[in-house]
Homo-oligomer: A and B are copies of this chain.
Amino acid sequence: MSQKIGLLIGTNRPEAMSLEMAGYYENKLISSGAEIIKIDLSKLPPDFAFSALYHNKGKHEDFNLFQESLDSVDKLIFFVPEYNGSFPGVLKTFIDGLRFPDSFRDKKIALVGLANGVQGNAIGLSHIGDILSYMGANVMGLRVKLGEISKHFDGKELSHPMYDQFINTQIEKFLNF
């Protein structure tokens, strides 16, 4: 039975490493028969932080397409680069624009951190994990933290000996989560 999985690229930075890593996961997931949908925050309306939140919530047609993509999946993998010691602000702003309170309720979520520093965004994954828990999502315990990512990933291939193994383990567990 085929699963539909959303890959959420957690930044709006153009040509982000997170987007490339989502592609890396996509190839593996497709091999396992999963259907993939990408949710790429770099495609958000540029003024969405004002035009899609608060009194405008639910009224912005282009933003609503993101909500529909999210609503169409029960499982998501978040790709979360480290900016200033945590997740990108735009990721939380995106969440703040979503329908309240059920947008993530009971969804199953895996987290992937990316950073040029050694820590692989451990703190940022802790923060986003708190938020997703608050919203009623079930976040898989095993988190992949890819530190020094520029050194180990050229956008297509991973050179770090352990990273590919971590990813395979995470994907296998997530397909059964």
A contact set with B: CB distance below 8 Å: 12-14, 44, 46-51, 53-55, 83-96, 100, 106, 118-120, 122-123, 126-127, 129-143, 145, 147, 173, 177
- The winner among A49, A85, A88 for most chain B CB atoms within 10 A is A49
Inside 8 A of A83's CB, which chain B residues have their CB? 92, 96
Q: Is the CB of B46 within 8 A of A134?
A: no
- 18 cross-chain CB contacts under 8 A: A12-B49, A14-B55, A44-B49, A46-B47, A84-B131, A85-B130, A85-B133, A85-B134, A88-B93, A88-B96, A89-B92, A89-B96, A90-B93, A118-B118, A118-B119, A127-B127, A135-B141, A139-B141
Stoichiometry, copies per complex: 4
Q: Say how far A55's CB is from chain B's closest CB, in angstroms.
A: 7
Inside 8 A of A132's CB, which chain B residues have their CB? 141
Inside 8 A of A91's CB, which chain B residues have their CB? 89
CA distance A138 to B143 in the complex (A): 11
CA distance A53 to B90 in the complex (A): 11
Inside 8 A of A12's CB, which chain B residues have their CB? 49-50, 53
Q: Say how far A85's CB is from chain B's closest CB, in angstroms.
A: 3
Given A46-B50, A119-B120, output 15 extra A-B contacts at Cβ < 8 Å.
A14-B55, A44-B49, A47-B47, A86-B130, A87-B92, A89-B90, A90-B93, A106-B141, A118-B119, A119-B122, A123-B123, A126-B126, A136-B142, A138-B140, A138-B177
Q: Say how far A128's CB is from chain B's closest CB, in angstroms.
A: 9
Inside 8 A of A134's CB, which chain B residues have their CB? 84-86, 123, 141
